[in-house]
């Protein structure tokens, strides 16, 4: 059990500056997920914590030790890799026991720990097999088992579920979460999948181009994104962005790309400084619904249905409105036809505004 601290962490390869001034405090027993598009530096950050990459500058602390110059084996961590990295020439038992053997644990202790871990993961009957005789899900379990037998201070996961099929991924996701609740070990988890990030993380760190964009609890990131990137990255389908300018005509109005909606009074004071300037309006698909007669006209948009995607529990409507396209997530009862013009009502309080230049949330 230990906290992990990263202070002004930087990683430069020859030309690429992969990780830039990362400051992060991962608390004891916390499950933190690093998420971002490929090449955002999340894996590099994790590998620096593991000791697999040299640190260009900055400091990493695990527990109360600065580990900058410690080799991976002395950091008391365990890591699960995307391709499982099981030793192909060893049985499952030997794979799981390897770390303990290297640390010269007595044989009975090794046996006990491997048995315990196998039991937790439901792989007792696989112990004598070789990795190539296992399915993808089983291999992933063994890889997790190999990590937990050592009772390390920190678990590191590098996209562990990416090689599994969709159904298995959901199942393993739940198991990992249950495992974490049971073992109460600090965990750092890297993924490019925002759903994984949101469901697993106590806190989520969104990264892009080597910079941390935002750190926060999953729902916080969703409802209060710090900038346009986070707003667009978290949530599926992604947030709709519309470039508008703010005009004053009996209250503040957002106007642009053929659309005109009123700014909710709750946002008006914050936005008054941007009067006459360009901003980006962000609308989540679920904050758009088909308008009924009672909706005030200043919060509705006329749109033409382009594509209807019925998902069962909901319907996604791809729409053309003015010169832009929107996605709306509506009730499954809605009957919309392609090319039909409908009125969309938006939830004015939930609209987000971003500075068009800096992309920061206003």
Partner 1 sequence: MVIEKRWKTWVFFYIPLTVFMVGTLFPFYWMLITAVRPDAELYRSWRAATNTPFWTLQPTLEHFRDLMAKTTFPRWLWNTFFIAVASTLISLFCGLLAGYALARLRFPLAGTLGTSIFVTYLVPPTLLFIPLADIIRNFQLGNTPWALILTYPTFLIPFCTWLLMGYFKTIPKELEECARIDGATRFGAMTRIIFPIAVPGILSAGIFAFTLSWNEFIYALVFLSSPERKTVPVGVVSELIRGDIYFWGQLMAGALLGSIPVALVYSFFVEYYVTGLTGSVKG
Choices 20-28, 87-95, 175-183, 226-234; region in contact with partner 1 by CB under 8 A: 87-95
Q: Is residue 98 involved in binding partner 1 (CB under 8 A)?
A: yes
User: For the stretch 232-258, what's the b/e string if a residue is b when 16 or more beta carbons lie within 10 angstroms of its beta carbon?
Assistant: bbbbeeebbbbebebeeeeebbbebee
Q: Is residue 102 involved in binding partner 1 (CB under 8 A)?
A: yes
C-beta of 110 vs 239, nearer to partner 1:
110
User: Which ranges in 224-344 belong to alpha helices (H)?
Assistant: 228-233, 265-271
Q: Is residue 162 involved in binding partner 1 (CB under 8 A)?
A: no
The one among 42, 139, 262, 289 contacting partner 1 by CB under 8 A: 139
Site of tokens 């159904």: 167
Given a contact cutoff of 8 angstroms between Cβ atoms, the answer to whether 346 and 287 are in contact is: yes
x/- letters, 39..58, toward partner 1 (CB under 8 A): -----------xxx------
Provide the minimum distance between the beta carbon of 300 and partner 1 in the complex, in angstroms, as a whole number.
Answer: 53
Q: Is residue 106 involved in binding partner 1 (CB under 8 A)?
A: no
Spatial separation of the C-alpha atoms in residues 341 and 164, rounded to whole Å: 41
Spatial separation of the C-alpha atoms in residues 9 and 107, rounded to whole Å: 40
C-beta of 70 vs 334, nearer to partner 1:
70
User: Which ranges in the chain belong to alpha helices (H)?
Assistant: 42-50, 92-102, 107-121, 136-148, 166-183, 194-200, 218-223, 228-233, 265-271
Spatial separation of the C-alpha atoms in residues 178 and 283, rounded to whole Å: 34
C-beta of 132 vs 335, nearer to partner 1:
132
Joined tokens for residue 323:
């010169």
Nearest to 32 by CA among 160, 162, 155, 173: 155
Q: Is residue 88 involved in binding partner 1 (CB under 8 A)?
A: yes
The one among 22, 45, 84, 284 contacting partner 1 by CB under 8 A: 84
Choices 1-9, 69-77, 112-120, 330-338; region in contact with partner 1 by CB under 8 A: 69-77
Q: Is residue 146 involved in binding partner 1 (CB under 8 A)?
A: yes
Binding site for partner 1 (CB under 8 A): 50-52, 71-73, 75, 77-79, 81-89, 98-99, 102-103, 131-132, 139, 146, 150
């Amino acid at each position: 059990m230990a906290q992990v601290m990263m202070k002004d962490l930087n990683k430069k390869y020859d030309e690429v500056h992969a990780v830039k001034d990362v400051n992060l405090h991962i608390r004891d027993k916390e499950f933190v997920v690093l998420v971002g598009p490929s090449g955002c530096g999340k894996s590099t950050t994790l590998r620096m914590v593991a000791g697999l990459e040299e640190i260009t500058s900055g400091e990493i602390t695990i527990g109360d030790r600065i580990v900058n110059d410690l080799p991976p084996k002395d950091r008391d961590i365990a890591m699960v890799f995307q391709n499982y990295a099981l030793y192909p020439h060893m049985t499952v038992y030997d794979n799981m026991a390897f770390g303990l053997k290297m640390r010269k644990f007595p044989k009975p202790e090794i046996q006990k720990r491997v048995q315990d871990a196998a039991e937790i993961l439901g792989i007792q009957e696989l112990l004598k097999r070789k990795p190539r005789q296992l399915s993808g899900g089983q291999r992933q379990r063994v890889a997790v088992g190999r990590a937990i037998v050592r009772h390390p201070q920190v678990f590191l996961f590098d996209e562990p579920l990416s090689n599994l099929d969709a159904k298995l991924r959901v199942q393993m996701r739940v198991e990992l979460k249950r495992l974490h609740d049971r073992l109460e070990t600090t965990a750092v988890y890297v993924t490019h999948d925002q759903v994984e990030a949101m469901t697993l993380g106590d806190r989520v760190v969104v990264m892009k181009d080597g910079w941390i964009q935002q750190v926060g609890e999953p729902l916080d990131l969703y409802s209060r994104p710090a900038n346009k990137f986070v707003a667009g990255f978290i949530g599926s389908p992604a947030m709709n962005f519309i470039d508008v300018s703010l005009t004053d005509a009996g209250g503040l109005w957002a106007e642009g790309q053929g659309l005109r909606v009123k700014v909710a009074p709750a946002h008006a004071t914050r936005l008054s400084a941007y009067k006459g300037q360009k901003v980006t309006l962000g609308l989540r698909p679920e904050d758009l619904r088909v308008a009924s007669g009672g909706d005030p006209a200043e919060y509705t948009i006329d749109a033409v249905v382009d594509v209807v995607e019925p998902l069962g529990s909901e319907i996604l409507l791809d729409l053309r409105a003015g010169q832009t396209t929107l996605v709306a997530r509506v009730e499954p009862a809605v009957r919309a036809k392609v090319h039909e013009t409908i009125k969309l009502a938006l939830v004015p309080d939930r609209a987000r505004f971003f500075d068009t230049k800096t992309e920061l949330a206003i």
